[in-house]
Amino acid sequence: MQRPTVTNMSLKPIVISGVVVRDKEFLCRLGKVLELNWLHGKDHKAKRALIENTLASFACDAVENNDFISLRALLEKVDVNCGNYDGIKPLHTACELGNLDMVKFLLAKGASRELVNRFGKCPLYMAIKNRYFTSMGFEMGCRL
């Protein structure tokens, strides 16, 4: 008799009405990771930089998962134009995925259209590259 495979649901997103939320167990585990024990012994400036880089990556992940609730909470802690280790901003991710609602949300929060990532690419380039220009061009302030 074969036992059913048990999957760890704490790492899977929960989707409610198109918005991704996390369950309580996942948030508890995330809290333990973010206790920041790995920052002991570092000066204040280094701690702040590491935390901002981590939160910027989380912000890009929230955009990728269409998680407006988490993104709103993260943007209270970091600038909307924050970038991950490659300089990819949340707006880059939204344009790359063609997520027009997320683009509108980020622009309303003050996201800059001109910022480039480490590879020298702006958000509109990401939309064009992935063939989302017709939907993004108008939102990004470009005339056809």
Question: If you count them, how many residues does the chain have?
Answer: 144
**Residue 143 in this model has a pLDDT that exceeds 50:** no
CATH superfamily placement of domain 41-139: Ankyrin repeat-containing domain (1.25.40.20)
Average pLDDT over residues 95-107: 91
| Residue 17: per-residue pLDDT | 55
**Residue 98 in this model has a pLDDT that exceeds 80:** yes
* 3-state SS string for the chain: CCCCCCCCHHHCCEEECCEEECCHHHHHHHHHHCCCHHHCCCCHHHHHHHHHHHHHHHHHHHHHCCCHHHHHHHHCCCCCCCCCCCCCCHHHHHHHHCCHHHHHHHHHCCCCCCCCCCCCCCHHHHHHHCCCHHHHHHHCCCCC
| Residue 15: per-residue pLDDT | 60
**Residue 131 in this model has a pLDDT that exceeds 60:** yes
Give the pLDDT confidence of 76-96 residue by residue, as tens digits: 988 999 988 888 999 999 999
**Residue 111 in this model has a pLDDT that exceeds 90:** yes
| Residue 138: per-residue pLDDT | 52
Give the pLDDT confidence of 16-53 residue by residue, as tens digits: 555 555 566 666 776 776 776 667 778 888 877 877 88
